[in-house]
Structure 1
Amino acid sequence: MELGAFSVSLPVKDIYKSKVFYEDLGFHVFGGDINQNWLIMKNGSCIIGLFQGMFDKNILTFNPGWNDNADNLESFTDIRDLQKHLKAKGIKMLTEADESSTGPASFTIEDPDGNPILVDQHV
């Protein structure tokens, strides 16, 4: 089962200070909009999202259909198929993708320790 590109989404108190801090670690802005209080930053193949005022916990994020440069993949497992597979394994969905839809969708689960996992397909 291929989940797609991986990143960690971090809630931050001050996006401007966090941006500078991660730039000092070698990250550069890869996407997002600091005026909307969110940035995606990259260092090599490491991707982090900085989000001010949007959620309370760190979130593990997977993007089916994307590589680590946010390029669309020709072949990938659709999010609805991933969701069906996980549900069949007994994994509880916190939010669900509409299985009758196509294209972009997302679902959310938690690991056994309560860590949120977002699976977010953009294509």
Structure 2
Amino acid sequence: MKTREELIARVLKNLGVLAAGQSPSDEDRAEVDDLIDPVCAKLFDDGVAKLTGDEIDDAAYLPLAAIVTEAAMVPFGIGGQKASDLEALAEKAKSDLKLAYRVYDARPPMRPDRFWGRRCGRIC
């Protein structure tokens, strides 16, 4: 399980704001922290996945970080080719999460009704 702090650090690394070995500033941390809960709520509303930003399953950690990174591009002024790359990464992450968290329907498959009449005017 990953923590919210690890998620914030990963998002800042994805944005290029945080270098290896650095710790996030309070302002940067607060900016990303404000985005996590709305992004998780949007993923739930869109039927992608039910996630919280507090304890993150290891399988959902990197995709969630990519999606939060996309939401954080505007506040951090990311544009150009880097923005295009991050948007593509976020779209792939959404499809990966949707596939991983798909809820399978337990109902039996529908069967078509049988046709009880005659097909060719005689008994075939």
TM (norm. structure 2) is 0.24
Higher strand share: 1
Higher helix share: 2
TM (norm. structure 1) is 0.24
